[in-house]
Amino acid sequence: MSKVIISSLYDSPVFKMACRQFDQAADAISLPETLRDRTKYPRRCFAVSLPIQRDDGSVTVFEGYRVQHNLSTGPSKGGIRFHQKVTIGEVAALSMWMSWKCSLAGLPYGGAKGGVIVNPTQLSDFELERLARRYMQELIPFIGPDTDVPAPDMGTNEKMMGWMMDTYSNHVGHISPAIVTGKPIALGGSQGRREATGAGVAYLVKAYLADFKISIEQATVAIQGFGNVGSEAALALVEYGAKVIVISDYTVGISNAQGIDIRKALQYISTQRVLKDFEGGDEISNEELLELDCTVLIPAALDRVITPENAPKLRCRVLAEAANGPTTYRADKVLEKRGDIEVIPDVICNAGGVTVSYFEWLQNKQNYYWDKEEVMAKLFKILDKAKHAVEAQKSRFGFSRRLAAQTLGIQRVADAKESRGLFP
Ligand code: NAD
């Protein structure tokens, strides 16, 4: 029998949620007791202090984390989040989901995640550069292209990945592009990486709508979060013929039953940074957005926005989880009981991002670069394969789609751990 030795280090609602999901999946596949805690809990974590000089000459110390959940199946892989509400428990939960996601997509990675407690909208570009570089500097002893490979997540972007790559490369004395993914193309970034997560979400939405016999040309879409993932998903869905009727960011939601001009909205935020006062529709709140009558609802911002309180009020046909962990464990039970909403769970829905990150890492290691067509074709092939596996698991065992996806991801990690044995 294994014994739980984990302290309260990660204790938080979102880590508990990830653990409850794991326990349910482990029960469903009768995972042996001796493998459970080994597979479930993060392997190691780092907490770092990040002093930076502010533009006014003062010094602020920020706190950051990196959690490496699993290194049994390859280097660990996962984004870095800059957000004022980051906690080590949230980072740990996100690192667990990364493990299942990489495993489900068949990528040779374990899961990791990083975070810094900061509101990036309140820092200047120079301050963000100092913070990104300092975070990388502190992590250098613990990461590497074959150990742990970060990427962008909420609040970080390709510019910051470029600064991090430069910091690491200066330290090792030669260019080392494979240390991070999601970099600018000029620094070894991959064609299609910026679009990958949103394009993957849109591709899966299209594929699932076809399965559910819903015409994409008739589909209306509401998207919470208009950053990298939300905006790219919107662009791709409009391209497929769907109508995006609501978008939002942390300042406001914009609703237009005729369809929002996504390119205009992108132009607007490229100068204004936020959607507030964008004149492409009427203002609605982020809460109203979630309960709107639409074909597809796409949370693409924070975790735990679908709760037991609003789950009974959702009026979408399909919930496509572009964000990580947007549906709480109890809300998920409400949706399962309702049975009228098809859920495309996060571990498959947003797997496009890490998949093209894998391609970027491969291209960096080979010093041989692919065109966008090749990247997208390879991405869609991997997503198709994962979708097929999830649907087969779902119908074979009568699982929900989330349970099917998570059991597949968890089983492969557990198999690798069992095959490697315990050391020493
Ligand atoms: P981003 O920082 O580019 O954009 C986040 C968006 O969410 C912004 O528009 C922001 O204003 C909005 N937002 C923040 N707080 C909000 C709130 N309270 N209500 C409504 N909107 C709010 O981040 P991103 O990279 O697009 O990531 C979004 C989600 O997708 C996260 O959950 C992230 O973990 C997940 N994800 C990202 C990637 C990736 O490649 N970037 C990959 C997989 C999953």
Mutational test site, ligand 1, from 67, 154, 262, 356, max ligand atoms within 8 Å of CB: 154
* Homologous superfamily, domain 8-177: Leucine Dehydrogenase, chain A, domain 1 (3.40.50.10860)
CATH superfamily, with its number, for domain 194-349 = NAD(P)-binding Rossmann-like Domain (3.40.50.720)
Extended beta strands in 229-341, E state: 243-248, 253-255, 282-284, 293-299, 315-320
Strand order in the sheet with 148-152: 44-53, 59-68, 110-117, 76-83, 148-152
CA–centroid distance, 301 to ligand 1, in Å, is 4
Protein residue with least CA distance to atom 29, ligand 1? 323
User: Can you spell out the DSSP letters for 212-258?
Assistant: TT--GGG-EEEEE--SHHHHHHHHHHHHTT-EEEEEE-SS-EEE-TT
Q: Which residues, 6+ apart, have CB-to-CB distance to 198 below 8 Å?
A: 228, 229, 230, 231, 232, 233, 234, 235, 236, 300, 322, 352
- The answer on pLDDT for 3 being more than 60 is no
Task: Please write the tens of the pLDDT for every residue from 142-195.
Answer: 999 999 999 999 999 999 999 999 999 999 999 999 999 999 999 999 999 999
Please report, for the chain, the start and end positions of each structural domain, with discontinuous segments joined by +: 8-177, 194-349
In this model, does residue 55 exceed pLDDT 70?
Answer: yes
183 in catalytic set: no
Report whether residue 322 contacts ligand 1, using a CB cutoff of 6 Å: yes
Residue 103 · residue 408 · CB < 8 Å: yes
* Per-residue pLDDT at 330 exceeds 50: yes
DSSP 62-78: EEEEEEE---SSSSEEE
- What predicted TM-score, i.e. pTM, was given to this entire model? 0.96
For ligand 1, atom 17, the nearest C-alpha belongs to 250
Look at residues 279, 208, 200 and name the one whose alpha carbon lies nearest to residue 235: 200
- The per-residue pLDDT of the chain, averaged, comes to 96
| Annotated catalytic residue within 77, 101, 113, 387 | 113
Q: How far is the CA of 337 from the centre of ligand 1 (A)?
A: 28
Confidence band, pLDDT 50/70/90 cuts, at residue 205? very high
pLDDT tens digits along 268-325: 999 999 999 999 999 999 999 999 999 999 999 999 999 999 999 999 999 999 999 9
Which residues, 6 or more positions from 121, have their beta carbon under 8 angstroms from its beta carbon? Answer: 273
The distance from CA 313 to its chain's CA centroid, rounded to whole angstroms, is: 25
pLDDT reading at 6 higher than 50: yes
Characterize 212-248 residue by residue with b for buried, 16 or more Cβ atoms within 10 angstroms of its Cβ, and e for exposed: eebebeebbbbbbbbbbbbbbbbbbbbeeebbbbbbb
Sheet holding 293-299, edge to edge: 282-284, 253-255, 243-248, 220-224, 293-299, 315-320, 342-344
Q: In 3D, which of 58, 51, 98, 106 has the Cα closest to residue 79?
A: 98
CB 99 within 8 A of CB 70: yes
Q: Does residue 190 have its Cβ closer than 6 Å to ligand 1?
A: no
Tens of pLDDT, residues 107-146: 999 999 999 999 999 999 999 999 999 999 999 999 999 9
pLDDT one-digit tens code per residue, 361-396:
999 999 999 999 999 999 999 999 999 999 999 999
Q: Would you state the structure tokens that stand for residue 414, as one six-digit string? A: 């557990």
CB 193 within 8 A of CB 355: no
pLDDT in the model for residue 8: 83
Peptide bond into 13 cis (omega under 30): no
How far apart CA 396 and CA 331 sit, in angstroms, is: 25
> Looking at residues 10-33, what average pLDDT do you find?
96
The helix, strand and coil proportions of the chain, stated in percent and rounded to the nearest 5, come to 50, 20, 30
For residue 2, the model assigns a pLDDT of 46
Q: How does pLDDT run across 77-116, given as a tens digit for each residue?
A: 999 999 999 999 999 999 999 999 999 999 999 999 999 9
327: which DSSP letter?
B
Ligand 1: distance of its center to the CA of 2 in Å?
Answer: 37
From atom 30 of ligand 1, which residue's Cα is the shortest distance away?
323
- Provide the residue type at 378 as one letter: K
Q: Which tokens in the block code for residue 18?
A: 């990830």
